[in-house]
Structure 1
Amino acid sequence: MNAVEIEEAVSDLVLQPFDAAEFSFQFLAAFGNKATTIKRLRSGSTNQSDVDGGVLQRNNIHIAVAPAGEVGETLAALRASPKTASAKAKFILATDGETVEAEDLVGGDVIACAYADLPQNFAMFLPLAGISTVKEIKNNPIDVKATGRLNKLYVELLKDNPDWATEDKRRELNQFMARLIFCFFAEDTGIFRENQFTATITQMSHAGHGSSEEQWGNTHEVLTELFRAMDTPVTHEGNFDPRYRQAANIRPYADAFPYVNGGLFTGAVDAPRFSRTARAYLLRAGELDWKEINPDIFGSMIQAVAEDDERGELGMHYTSVPNILKVLNPLFLDDLREQLEAAGDSKQKLRNLRKRLGHIRVFDPACGSGNFLVIAYKEMRAIEAQIVERLGGEANLKLAERRSVIPLSNFYGIEIKGFAAEIARLALLIAEFQADCLYLSQQEARAMVLPLHKTGQITVGNALRLDWLEVCPPVGATLVEEQDLAGPTGRLALEDNGLEEGDRVETYICGNPPYIGDKMQSEVHKSDLEPILSGIVERWRSLDYICGFFIKAVGYIANSRSKCAFVTTKSITQGQQVPLLWPAILKRCAIDFAYRPFKWNNLASDNAGVTCVIVGLKQRVHSGARRLYDDDSLKIVDVISPYLTSGAEIIISGTHQSISGLSRMALGNVLKDDGGLQLDEADVQTLSALERNKYVRKIVGSTEFINGTQRQCLYVRDRDMAAARTIALIDGRMSAVTASRSVSTAPALRSIANEPNIYYHHMAPGRSYTIVVPRVTSENREFLPVGFLPAGVLISDRNYGLVDAPVWNVALIASRLHWVWIGTVCVRMRTDFSYSNTLGWNTFPVPKLTEQDKADLTRTAENILLAREAHFPATIADLYNPDAMPYDLRRAHEENDEVLERIYIGRRFRNDTERLEKLFDLYTKMTARAAPRGKGKSAKKKGKAA
């Protein structure tokens, strides 16, 4: 369930007669709990409550229905319950059907309200549905209610008007919805008379009846007339003049509405038909108090209403204000605030700063419904308000001096979806009106808002195919297509934004562009990237989609006074993406600031694994300190690398030989057998003991190694093939392998079809042992899994192996230093580490080890292995569970880190950032001393059982 559906379910719950026996289960159902889950709670099998009438859902909530008037006492009993603590309940809630009291035991929020007002507080409980809640939604649920009602209306209109679902008409329907939103907002904020729009619809329209044309009533006719009036002027040459309304024959009830225009009502000639149900949804939407709408939240939520594939995710794409400010503050807002602080009470400095505000342009090339633009506008208006206050305040300034110098036309965006673009324009207009009400007065704001003027310049299109310098052109008079609230007007205009040649205009590019990893891209996405990256980036098809936005931004920055900052997944600052992407960026730009990886939260229930970074770029010619953010800390540095570390702008490429002279690490066996060479236990038991010993080997993948399970496969030498094929099981399997390889599209596989015992890539097992390292491991483990396999045991290509290598290699792999290195320079698969021998092991910088160092590391590695053995039969998965790691094993790892880190710097490192900085510094020195190495050609090594 999404937040909108949950709000509706809670609203429906409180409208029903209160049922003390059922309330707890009804409440949990409203937050998406399955019927089977509730059935188990109802039966008592999973309900561990120790409070009378209580229902306890482990890891979620402890609820109890209280006797009349004893809600506070019942809540106290829930709070004091030992079961509340042992079951790790996040919330407690008590109600008697008249009042409700609840507490967020994690966040500390509390509510105490009438039972009927529970829907106003539903957002506090969104974590029960797996949805990360945010302050803005908690404090202002009107945005969720409005989205839900408009969504129901939209769906009903499409059902009633199937012809409006076509591509041509869908744009008209989207604009129709934007008009409704404006009217609802206008009647609740004084732009129109109070309740004027909803009351007129109620009084002048009637619901349909029957099944013929009468079923539609006349709501669409009333709305068409109202919108026609709003598009017809009431003045001529600045004076009131009814001639236009009279000529248009506007009906009296519509003539009472002011002229709005601004492009929003241009061409308002038609409206969809309304069934009785659709009309009811329309009037219900009008009942809400729209003046409380928050344009950045509401815009982001309503964006999904018009998209069939996103409607189930209503509100999920909302980006919280704190996250947006992580981009905007270091990009330019912090600098404005510092300049304000430095200005003090100097009138000249304050006026100069205010002039600077009017010369700032904000450009989001993937703006969606405009939240980055809206937040930027709000924050700039807040700074301007402080300037005005220091200049003498409202009482001592004329209205013209108090009016904002920040035009909406300085806010640019590109959005591929037409409805989202319309909502972005409308959201900016609403934000401006609310700011005028706050910083001027409501009366003055109302006087200035109509007719609607030029709003944000949002271009509908594909940002990777448009020329950004044309969308947000350099300063100077340029003939452009005029834009207003509804988009292009079809007229040409001289665009100057109030800015002139010689003005110090600043353009800041920002946003949260789409990620889309290289494996998830369609050919359409690839065709978007090709004109941008081909010829600039080698192997550009291996880059994430967002890389196109970075390269476009670099081109824009090189041709204008601007900076950019994007939110992105951390993948572009790790692994192979770095040597592919960053040389092209660093030729022209440098990293100005960055946020190291952090969890990105919105309203989605599946966003827990989204780890992002923020990267800000500026022209290389601009010097100055760089800012590196890590959690809540800020470090001022001289240079930020593409890996988001301080130090040199280093780029690490894979190598086929260890820079530290470490043992060779190879990929495990690749069978390419379509399962033919792999045996289950039943297969193995059909063979005699002699046959099993001669032709069967254990093979260990990452899953088997980590979970302690076993798998077996055929391992037949060339010299034994004739004898082996006299055994029915082996002969059948070999024939199956031949058949599958023969029809393969890969020439290399077809070439070995008649040698079915040959592995596509062969890695011989160790004669004494093999040190095994899984290719993929969870980042939640504090140490990389590594261990030994006995002689003769094969590893699959889900592992890397070091054959008969010295034991002290285990100490390196198991160290925190190596964990940090792999997590930075290797690719990530979602939140997991994806190990690489060429990129992770061969590039790992290790100081020259003495024989004593190796002896000490051998001892610490053996201690780790002995600590594991003490807990047999616990698996790697058991032992390295971060919440249940045995003390002696943790202590062995800490001793290993102590010994290794003293080899590096004579003491323990303070944190991972210091570890990385040392490793990059050592890597730079080691590679500078080394002779240039050729990469050579990488090829699969076909091999026979040996």
Structure 2
Amino acid sequence: MNITQIEENVRSLLNSMSSGDMEQSDFIYELLLAYGHRKQSVTRLRSGERNLSAKDNSPRHDEIIWKRHLYFKQVEGDALHTEIDQMRKEKLVTTNKIRFVIVTNFDQLLAVDTKTSDSLDINLNELPKQFDFFLPWAGMEKAVYQGENPADIKAAEKMAKLFDLIKGDNFDESNKDDTEALHNLNVFLTRLLFCFFAEDTEIFADNQFSRAIESHTKDDGSDLPDYLNRLFSVLNTADGYRGELPDYLASFPYVNGGLFADDILSPVFSAKARRMLIECGSELDWSDINPDIFGSMIQAVVHPDQRGGMGMHYTSVSNIMKVIEPLFLNDFYEELEKVENSATKLHKLQQRLGEIKIFDPACGSGNFLIIAYKELRKLEMEVLKRLQELYDEKQDLKSGVMAQVIQPFSVIKLSQFYGIELDDFAHEVAILSLWLAEHQMNVEFKTEFGEVLPSLPLQKGGSIICANATRIEWTDVCSNKGEIYILGNPPYLGHSLQSKDQKNDIEFVFQGTSNYKKQDYISCWFYKAAYFINKESSFSFVTTNSLCQGAQVEILWPKLYEAGVEIGFAHKSFKWSNNARRNAGVICSIIGMRHSADKVKRIYYQGVSVIVGNINSYLVDSLDTIVVKATRPISDLPKMTSGNKPLDGGYLVLSPEEKECLLEEAPNASKFVRRFIGSSEYIRGNERWCLWISDDERLDAESIDQLKRRFDKVREVRLNGGNNARNKADSPHKFEFANEPDKSQIIVPRVSSERREYIPVGYLDNNVVIADSAQVLFDPDPYVFSLINSKMHMVWVDVTAGRLKSDYRYSSQYSYHTFPVPTLSESDKNELKISAMNILSARANYPEKTLAKLYDPNEMPKGLRAAHEENDRIVDSIYRKKEFINDDERLAVLFELYKKMTGGQNA
């Protein structure tokens, strides 16, 4: 449940009370539900079963004590402050770990957060404005998130400077192929990071590592490598095998776990590097570091440009949760709710948590794995809390289970987490970050239960492999037996942006298949995952939304369906933003896939989750139909072509200034000059002109020196171009592709803002030359203008067009030629023609406004909007008489009609 939903829930609750639709006795229960508490749990609380103040488990609504959650009282009159002061001092608040103490007389409400000591004193009707006070009930602490954690920023910047110094003194930039030396440097840095973290989090003694360096090495840094080599050897040696050591080394604990296992010599240190090393430890509080964030920040400062275009950046926790919640976490919490009264089943659930596998085959510095690990540990703690409650309530427990409840331990291990990462340093940081996350969760576990397994020696830190995920067999990293959840944010790159190696990767993955060369790079991960998972497993990746639009659907999705998988959930297009300084703003989708099964399917969009019957390749609740590009319309519509392409080096196209200069020098050239309009010129009102000369007019035009000089330049440009250009060198007076209407033409911009409700399609006369940055319909009937200006067409464009960032990239082959239109009667065409004229007339009322202004959703004139809404009504009625409730219904009708008209282009 997101914050917006919670706020609305609280507002609705107060409205229900004020209108009399809700009894006061229901208030606290509805408030708990508003924050996402499970209905089953609240029902038990209402019945008295969970209310510790109720006698014989009978209902009681004036006083409620719910372990870990709240201590609530209804009071009469004005004694609220006295009452809450007494309540917060009661021993039961501590023994039951009560989070919120609350009193109300239904005019005022007072509350205390026992964890933060914050208090709330408001009129009850102000609660919607103060709803964030109780956000911990929804699993959200109230600390205001300020982007990156300042501790992470400071540590990353300090470590970057230290790394630059060490690298400059030890690594030869001219020999970048020395991968072993660079790998050793990466491992060394991760060891330093661990030591800094350890001395501030009670793994080592306080400031032990930094103090030891400062006290036992020379100021000039000359003996520091030998000291670190010896120290790292000690950290890799168990206590019984150390022999005689000086106290300053013997006092360090045995760490192992693989981090200090390899015999890697420490680099040379200058005096400045030694001083900065000590400052990194002594001046920074590493206990505040967030391993899920810090790893990416460190990776970014070490390789600032290496992975910037491949989707590797710090990903916010909220975005990661969009992947892992529907993939597995929500199901586990539902299972917890079902079995929460059975100790045996709770124990089985915990054992299951200790056996699942989490696999990220493009793990970067480990963000997704770390958050998945933390969330599973939190879930396990909820299981153990409930087991303890059952024990406390003296319910029927088998002796074996009882012993485990008395002394709870986590069964979740880092060895259940698997990853593949191409970058060596990121792979090292991922391993380290998982260790740090494990320690932090152990601290939380100990706070809650008072017991925890020792932090040292480190256990196996996850199976994170440095390799190319497109080339390695995934089963060599993670067995595909058992319950496995594959997740992550693999690199996405369109065909034109891929390196030669990446194109070869695609060819390697898709060998034996056809039509794969234009695929996005991320398709490799989808394809391999589809053939990797078993019936118990599923996968979910963040992907650029282009994978579910236009040509990519036709190329990739049939291959996925052949593997027997289906889409189980999807987040429709949203901006994949993060809190890094260079905020990534890619428009993404999240797709979760599994083997076909009779399970609930959900589509998430703008914070709302909807259960649907099916999710097709376009992330729409409709048939599994794939739209195949068409060179001619499948409906009774005229063919759409591209505009006119100059291929002129700029010599046939004129700016307004060039046009004026030309006509001033050669007035008789005016008959060869026409308005030149592409997408930008049409939408934004920019002005360009061009020379438009037929073969019959060539000699006349060449007699004008200013034009002949331009033609000579065009010829030169084309002779120096490719084969197509050279073939056109003999006609330098003409565009490469030159088409014009007899009377009129419709211009359809290739690129249009996604903010607009309609692409600004327009009518132009035959004196205008339309550029190839737009699409053209020559001499069309006016009813076509009405059809492609409709909402019906726009919802089709939304799923079939490509994207340029978030803007529509209109395609004649996918969006127009495939647009299914029912057979139109003459009456239909006449009504559509009148509607088209009404739209054009409404535009004409605002000659001073560009189409960009007219179609800005915040500035669209009422008359123009009314004309479009009437046009939508007319077009909708052609498809069906019953009014459409939403765009999803329109799409369902369109996909059904498309299937019928094409003979069934099934997935």
TM-score, normalised via structure 2 length: 0.78
Instruction: Quote how far apart the aligned CAs of 1:574 are.
Output: 0.1
Question: Secondary structure, in 3 states, of the residue corresponding to 1:305?
Answer: helix
Q: What is the RMSD computed on CA atoms of the aligned residues?
A: 3.0
Q: Distance in 1 between matches of 2:193 and 2:376?
A: 25
Question: Secondary structure, in 3 states, of the residue corresponding to 1:660?
Answer: coil
Q: Distance in 2 between matches of 1:231 and 1:443?
A: 30
Q: Distance in 2 between matches of 1:812 and 1:834?
A: 18
Task: Kindly indicate whether the alpha-carbon contact (under 8 Å) linking 2:758 and 2:790 is maintained by their aligned counterparts in 1.
Answer: yes
1:581 and 2:550 equivalent?
Answer: no
Could you say which residue in structure 2 is the equivalent of 1:681?
A: 659
* Matching of residues 761-800 of structure 1 within 5 Å: 761-764=737-740, 766-800=741-775
Task: Kindly indicate whether the alpha-carbon contact (under 8 Å) linking 1:701 and 1:798 is maintained by their aligned counterparts in 2.
Answer: yes
1:367 and 2:344 equivalent?
Answer: no
* Matching of residues 414-493 of structure 1 within 5 Å: 414-440=420-446, 448-475=454-481
Query: CA 1:312–1:599 in 2, change beyond 3 Å: closer, same or farther?
Result: closer
* Matching of residues 710-725 of structure 1 within 5 Å: 710-725=687-702
2:680 to 679, 703, 706: 703
Q: Distance in 1 between matches of 2:326 and 2:334?
A: 11
Question: Secondary structure, in 3 states, of the residue corresponding to 1:779?
Answer: coil
2:197 to 185, 193, 209: 185
1:527 and 2:525 equivalent?
Answer: no
Could you say which residue in structure 2 is the equivalent of 1:819?
A: 794
Query: CA 1:816–1:825 in 2, change beyond 3 Å: closer, same or farther?
Result: same
Query: CA 1:304–1:445 in 2, change beyond 3 Å: closer, same or farther?
Result: farther
Query: CA 1:728–1:425 in 2, change beyond 3 Å: closer, same or farther?
Result: same
Q: Distance in 2 between matches of 1:400 and 1:194?
A: 32
Could you say which residue in structure 2 is the equivalent of 1:742?
A: 719
2:532 to 546, 552, 556: 556
Could you say which residue in structure 1 is the equivalent of 2:237?
A: 232
Task: Kindly indicate whether the alpha-carbon contact (under 8 Å) linking 2:601 and 2:611 is maintained by their aligned counterparts in 1.
Answer: yes
For residues 572-606 of structure 1, what are the alpha-carbon distances to aligned partners after superposition, in whole Å with 9 as ceiling and x for unaligned? 00010110011100111111111111111112455
Q: Distance in 2 between matches of 1:696 and 1:534?
A: 52
Could you say which residue in structure 1 is the equivalent of 2:277?
A: 282
Q: Distance in 2 between matches of 1:447 and 1:609?
A: 42
Q: Distance in 2 between matches of 1:447 and 1:469?
A: 31
* Matching of residues 90-239 of structure 1 within 5 Å: 138=147, 140-163=149-172, 167-208=179-220, 216-235=221-240
1:754 and 2:730 equivalent?
Answer: yes
Query: CA 1:709–1:382 in 2, change beyond 3 Å: closer, same or farther?
Result: closer
Q: Distance in 2 between matches of 1:619 and 1:289?
A: 47
Instruction: Quote how far apart the aligned CAs of 1:185 are.
Output: 1.8
2:251 to 249, 256, 271: 256
* Matching of residues 911-930 of structure 1 within 5 Å: 911-928=886-903
Could you say which residue in structure 2 is the equivalent of 1:411?
A: 417
Could you say which residue in structure 2 is the equivalent of 1:27?
A: none
Query: CA 1:520–1:144 in 2, change beyond 3 Å: closer, same or farther?
Result: same
Could you say which residue in structure 2 is the equivalent of 1:483?
A: none
Question: Secondary structure, in 3 states, of the residue corresponding to 1:566?
Answer: strand
Task: Kindly indicate whether the alpha-carbon contact (under 8 Å) linking 1:154 and 1:305 is maintained by their aligned counterparts in 2.
Answer: no
Query: CA 1:744–1:267 in 2, change beyond 3 Å: closer, same or farther?
Result: closer
Task: Kindly indicate whether the alpha-carbon contact (under 8 Å) linking 1:459 and 1:471 is maintained by their aligned counterparts in 2.
Answer: yes
Question: Secondary structure, in 3 states, of the residue corresponding to 2:492?
Answer: coil
Higher alpha-carbon deviation: 577-586 or 378-387: 378-387
Instruction: Quote how far apart the aligned CAs of 1:515 are.
Output: 0.7
For residues 158-210 of structure 1, what are the alpha-carbon distances to aligned partners after superposition, in whole Å with 9 as ceiling and x for unaligned? 233345985322222221221122112222222222222222222223422xx
Instruction: Quote how far apart the aligned CAs of 1:511 are.
Output: 0.3
Q: Distance in 1 between matches of 2:726 and 2:209?
A: 73
Query: CA 1:446–1:150 in 2, change beyond 3 Å: closer, same or farther?
Result: farther
2:640 to 639, 643, 665: 665
Task: Kindly indicate whether the alpha-carbon contact (under 8 Å) linking 1:300 and 1:369 is maintained by their aligned counterparts in 2.
Answer: yes
Could you say which residue in structure 1 is the equivalent of 2:593?
A: 617
1:692 and 2:670 equivalent?
Answer: yes
Q: Distance in 2 between matches of 1:823 and 1:318?
A: 29
Instruction: Quote how far apart the aligned CAs of 1:874 are.
Output: 1.9
Query: CA 1:193–1:773 in 2, change beyond 3 Å: closer, same or farther?
Result: same
Could you say which residue in structure 2 is the equivalent of 1:382?
A: 378
Q: Distance in 1 between matches of 2:584 and 2:843?
A: 31
Task: Kindly indicate whether the alpha-carbon contact (under 8 Å) linking 2:673 and 2:689 is maintained by their aligned counterparts in 1.
Answer: yes
Task: Kindly indicate whether the alpha-carbon contact (under 8 Å) linking 2:480 and 2:533 is maintained by their aligned counterparts in 1.
Answer: no
Could you say which residue in structure 1 is the equivalent of 2:705?
A: 728
Higher alpha-carbon deviation: 299-308 or 595-604: 299-308
Task: Kindly indicate whether the alpha-carbon contact (under 8 Å) linking 1:299 and 1:423 is maintained by their aligned counterparts in 2.
Answer: yes
Could you say which residue in structure 2 is the equivalent of 1:271?
A: 266
Task: Kindly indicate whether the alpha-carbon contact (under 8 Å) linking 2:633 and 2:816 is maintained by their aligned counterparts in 1.
Answer: yes
Task: Kindly indicate whether the alpha-carbon contact (under 8 Å) linking 2:545 and 2:573 is maintained by their aligned counterparts in 1.
Answer: yes
For residues 606-638 of structure 1, what are the alpha-carbon distances to aligned partners after superposition, in whole Å with 9 as ceiling and x for unaligned? 546421101111123x33232222222222223
Question: Secondary structure, in 3 states, of the residue corresponding to 2:589?
Answer: strand
Could you say which residue in structure 1 is the equivalent of 2:6?
A: none
Could you say which residue in structure 2 is the equivalent of 1:104?
A: none
Could you say which residue in structure 2 is the equivalent of 1:113?
A: none
Task: Kindly indicate whether the alpha-carbon contact (under 8 Å) linking 1:641 and 1:648 is maintained by their aligned counterparts in 2.
Answer: yes
Could you say which residue in structure 1 is the equivalent of 2:31?
A: none
1:875 and 2:870 equivalent?
Answer: no
> What amino acid is the match of 2:441?
A
Q: Distance in 1 between matches of 2:483 and 2:405?
A: 27
Q: Distance in 2 between matches of 1:192 and 1:872?
A: 75
Query: CA 1:818–1:608 in 2, change beyond 3 Å: closer, same or farther?
Result: farther
Instruction: Quote how far apart the aligned CAs of 1:701 are.
Output: 1.4
Task: Kindly indicate whether the alpha-carbon contact (under 8 Å) linking 1:590 and 1:618 is maintained by their aligned counterparts in 2.
Answer: yes
> What amino acid is the match of 1:159?
G
Query: CA 1:155–1:443 in 2, change beyond 3 Å: closer, same or farther?
Result: farther
Q: Distance in 1 between matches of 2:747 and 2:236?
A: 73
Instruction: Quote how far apart the aligned CAs of 1:311 are.
Output: 10
> What amino acid is the match of 1:454?
K
Q: Distance in 2 between matches of 1:373 and 1:913?
A: 35
> What amino acid is the match of 2:237?
T
Q: Distance in 2 between matches of 1:896 and 1:605?
A: 45
Instruction: Quote how far apart the aligned CAs of 1:928 are.
Output: 2.9
Could you say which residue in structure 2 is the equivalent of 1:37?
A: none
Q: Distance in 2 between matches of 1:139 and 1:173?
A: 26
Q: Distance in 2 between matches of 1:379 and 1:312?
A: 28
> What amino acid is the match of 1:349?
K
Question: Secondary structure, in 3 states, of the residue corresponding to 1:699?
Answer: strand
> What amino acid is the match of 2:356?
I
1:569 to 538, 544, 547: 544
Instruction: Quote how far apart the aligned CAs of 1:328 are.
Output: 0.9
Q: Distance in 2 between matches of 1:435 and 1:273?
A: 35
Unaligned runs of 5+ in 2: 1-127, 132-142, 393-401
Task: Kindly indicate whether the alpha-carbon contact (under 8 Å) linking 1:816 and 1:897 is maintained by their aligned counterparts in 2.
Answer: yes
Query: CA 1:310–1:276 in 2, change beyond 3 Å: closer, same or farther?
Result: farther
Could you say which residue in structure 2 is the equivalent of 1:335?
A: 331
Query: CA 1:183–1:594 in 2, change beyond 3 Å: closer, same or farther?
Result: same
Q: Distance in 2 between matches of 1:547 and 1:312?
A: 19
Task: Kindly indicate whether the alpha-carbon contact (under 8 Å) linking 2:800 and 2:814 is maintained by their aligned counterparts in 1.
Answer: yes
> What amino acid is the match of 1:451?
P
Query: CA 1:340–1:706 in 2, change beyond 3 Å: closer, same or farther?
Result: same
